[in-house]
Amino acid sequence: MSGHGGQPFPLSKLAFMYVKKVAQPIASRIARKAEKDNWFKTYICLPPANLYHFYEAKIKFKVMNIGRTRISKVPKLNEKAAIELGSNLCAEFIIMSVASILALHEVRENIESLNRIIQTQNQDIETLSNLIYRYRNQYSHAGDIEEDSTRTHGS
């Protein structure tokens, strides 16, 4: 752990705070849409919020050792809090998805660029190998001619 308030990766915390800040306008639009459209609220906005709340509560109860017995029922979020949580989760998911797609695109472009460089290097190696082969053939052929001329002139 570093000395930054116990946070091992302060840049990661900064990045997630940035994502939350950028996602706020999207989250407010999603929340407005959920308030107006019942289908959107029921099937898009509330399920991730309820799922997140359920597991967050279970983990918190387990970590804090509240009650030695198993929790059978997690208290439900009220609708307004669920819409807010769901819209934040959806907005953050959208931002992270776009960032992941951009990162994947950059990785693919980098791989293609490296493949082009490798292909060019392989072609250069092939060209050099051919030149060396021709040079050796010419050199050995010149050696044969020299041997022939010394045999004919030396005898």
- Residue 155, helix vs strand vs coil: coil
| pLDDT given for residue 154 in this prediction | 54
Q: What is the pLDDT of residue 18?
A: 87
Single pTM value for the model: 0.68
Contact present, 22 and 91 (Cβ < 8 Å)? no
Neighbours of 46 (CB within 10 A): 19
Name which of 10-19, 121-130, 136-145 the model is least confident about: 136-145
| Residue 2 pLDDT > 50 | no
Structural element, H or E, at residue 132 = helix 79-154
Q: What confidence tens digit (pLDDT) does each residue in 87-113 have? A: 999 999 999 999 999 999 999 999 999
User: What separation in angstroms does the CA of 140 have from each of 27, 93, 130, 131, 133?
Assistant: 77, 69, 15, 14, 10
